[in-house]
Structures are given as structure tokens and as C-alpha cells.
Structure 1
Amino acid sequence: MLTLSTELLGSFVAMGRVTYEKDLNSSHSGNMSCRDKAGNLHITRSGAMLGSLEAADVVSFAPGSPPHPRASRELPVHQAVYESNADVGAIVHTHAPHAITLAWSHDKIVPADAEGHHYLPRIPVVECVDPIGSQGLARAVAGALCFSSSVIVRSHGVFSAGSDLEEATLYACCTESICRLLYMRSLYQAGIK
């Protein structure tokens, strides 16, 4: 049975807390995963509270072995991203409200702010008939993450990828910040102050 290192568990706990404290997830939404140096996959269990993760909330398995039965329902998406891009070491999935809101009316998100543009010059928006853990979603997200570090799935949420959990969380936070600023700008331009 694979176990999670203390260092990786610390990253899961810290970055999970960030996603909750920054309002990127509700109490039991979202998921996170990473690959270790041996290629083993570690992913949050289905229904885990990212804001208060414990060791039992992260399940692990070796490449080629059957997935853990308690793994997040989004596991096929995470696996497809890792298979499509060897440079990805971690994935963070959030249900960021401003990102979801803007994705209803945009096919891509182009930041209006300098910092957003520095990190994510363009964020693709994809749509999928079955947007939770399906093979169609896995293909769409994996394809988009080959060209951007974040993608928004219309009516679902954000998938962000990075070399580690901290970098993936950075891109998830940037995505929501970019969308929040664009949303606020649209209110201002509409005369709502």
C-alpha cells in the first residue's frame, strides 16, 4: 500500500486550505492531485473537505494499478492531463464562482489586469455534455491544458495545472482573480457601483 510523504501531505493541507479560504470551493467541493517522483498518483478522496484535509483524505496508487475506489470522481480528468503533458506535476480543480459566471457568456477569458495577463494571457473555456468526470471532459480539459495553465469548464469549474500543488493553486487563484476583476469591470461599465 502506497503512503503519502509528510511533505506532500503538508502541500495538500496547505493548498487545500487556500482554495477554501479564497472562496474557490465550498465545504466539500473541488479536488487536487499530484504525482510523486516515482510516478505514483495522489488524489483527494471523493467528498473531501479541502479546507481541512487529513492524511485519510488523500488516496494513492501506482501507475498501471487500479484506481483507489475512494478517489475523486474527477480522477479520469486528472489522469488524462498527466498522460497528455509530462511536465504537469499537480492539478487543482475548483468551483470558483466568478470563473463559472463569466464562462456562461465567454468562449475564452482574456485578462484586463497586468498581473492576470502575466500569469494567464488567455484562459480557454470548454463545454462538455457530461461535465463531471466523463471521458469527454477528460479529453477537453487535457487538450486545453496543453496550451494554458488553466481552463474553465462551462457550468462546472476550473482545472489548473502546475509543476506542483503550489503552482497549480497559484493558477487556480489567478483564474478566479482575473474573472472577478472582469466581472467587477462589467458592473462598473453598466453603471452599477
Structure 2
Amino acid sequence: MSEISAAREQIALLAKSMFDRGLTHGSSGNISLRLSDGTLLVTPTGSSMGTLDPARISHISEAGDLLSGDNPTKEIPLHTAFYETRQKTGAVVHLHSCHSVALSLCPDIDPDNVLPPLTAYGIMQLGKVKLLPFFVPGDPAMGDAVRGLAGKRTAVLLANHGPVVAGKDLEAAVYAMEELEATARLALLLRGVAATSLNPEQISRVVKRIDVEWTE
């Protein structure tokens, strides 16, 4: 099987897994994956992650031209901003997952680090998650906002919209996205409770041991 065929199959498989577990719904969310030649595979516009046809997944050139498949998602600028600013990015996942979106609406979250340090795994897989303001879906300004972070974040949360996670490959991006949603759910479950988060010394031990990007 060729690289492009195998990658298309992997996108469809992991997309359906997320859809079946309620992490995305309807035609929401999108995935991209960078191939070895620098071109991108991207989920098509208006498609459901639960019923992707691998052969119809968009294949676009580095310049953004459609090479094969259906027309790509309108969120392309959001994805390409991560590839342009983080050289190790091999895939990007964007969802409208319920708990992450709900957390983005809370008035008292830290916009520089929206996830409280509840578990070591949230820190290990995500680092600090930046809250970005609301943009109309498809607005190229979303990409500009990501570029403004200068490659210092692997994950962001778009206010009133949803999370975006970059990873070294598709599995890493999906796993980190799942961790983000799980941590957001924990944060919401614990609202109003004097929960015991990791303290600064514990966070420092995790960051140093795992070599996490923990931007100040």
C-alpha cells in the first residue's frame, strides 16, 4: 500500500473512532496529516468523521492546490499555521468536543493556560493550552492567531468553538486531543470543589522528567 493510501486509511479509522465515542458529531471537526513530500491530506468540507471515504480525503499541495479527493475543509488556514510554525508537526486535529467547548465559555479560566494541572498526563501530552478568542469558522485570522504564538504551543482552545492539537504524527495528535477533552471534563466536574491540583513543585518534576514544552 502506498504512503498516501495508508495515511488516508489511518485518518478514516481514527476519525471514526473519535466520532463513535462522541468526541465529534455531525460534520464538525477536521484532521490533517503531512506526507513525506510536504503535501497534506485533509478531511473534506462538510464530511462526517464517522463516515469518511478514504479515497475522497483531500490531497493538497504545499501551495494549497487540490491534487485529488474532494474539496478540503475551510479550516485549512488553522492547520497550515501549525505546520508553518512547528517543524515537528506531522498532524493536526480540530474538534468541537463538548467539554472543551464548555470550558472555553467559563469566565474564570486562565487564558494563558486553560487546563488546570489536575494530572501529570495533561501536562505531559499538552503543555500549556492557550485560549484564543472567538473567530467566525473559516476565518484566516485563526491561522494568524496561531502564528502569533511562534510555535510555542502544541494545543489551543478556540473560544466558543473547540480545541486544536498538533502532534508529531496522527496518533500522537489524537491521543493528545483525547487527553485535552478528558482534562476539560475533569475541570468541569470539579468546579465548585476545592480539588487538589498538582502544585508547582510537582509540575516542575513532571516537566523536567518528561521534557515537556512548558512555556511561561
TM-score normalised per structure 1: 0.87
CA offsets, 1:86-134, max 9 Å, x none?
Answer: 2111100100111111111221323312322222242111103x33121
Matches within 5 A, 1:1-193: 5-64=4-63, 66-67=65-66, 70-105=71-106, 106=109, 107=111, 108-109=113-114, 110-128=116-134, 130-144=135-149, 146-186=151-191, 188=193
User: For 2:190, what is the secondary structure of its paired residue?
Assistant: helix
Q: Which amino acid aligns with 1:73?
A: K
CA offsets, 1:134-181, max 9 Å, x none?
Answer: 121111134448222211000001111011111111111111011001
In the alignment of these two chains, the number of paired residues is: 187
The answer as to whether partners of 1:111 and 1:120 remain within 8 angstroms in 2 is no
Q: Which 10-residue stretch deviates more, 139-148 or 159-168?
A: 139-148
Q: Which 10-residue stretch deviates more, 93-102 or 112-121?
A: 112-121
Name structure 2 gaps, 5 residues minimum: 195-216
Q: Which amino acid aligns with 1:157?
A: G
Q: Distance in 2 between matches of 1:127 and 1:53?
A: 30
Query: In the superposition, relative to structure 1, how do residues 19 and 163 fare at CA in structure 2: closer, same or farther (>3 Å)?
Result: same
Q: Which amino acid aligns with 1:72?
A: T
Question: What's the C-alpha RMSD, in Å, of the aligned pairs?
Answer: 2.2
Query: In the superposition, relative to structure 1, how do residues 98 and 62 fare at CA in structure 2: closer, same or farther (>3 Å)?
Result: same
CA offsets, 1:26-69, max 9 Å, x none?
Answer: 12110000110011111010011112211244111222253477
- The alignment-based identity, stated in percent, is 25
The answer as to whether partners of 1:11 and 1:166 remain within 8 angstroms in 2 is no
Query: Hey, what does 2:210 align to over in structure 1?
Result: none
User: For 2:77, what is the secondary structure of its paired residue?
Assistant: helix
Q: Which 10-residue stretch deviates more, 65-74 or 9-18?
A: 65-74
Q: Which amino acid aligns with 1:186?
A: R
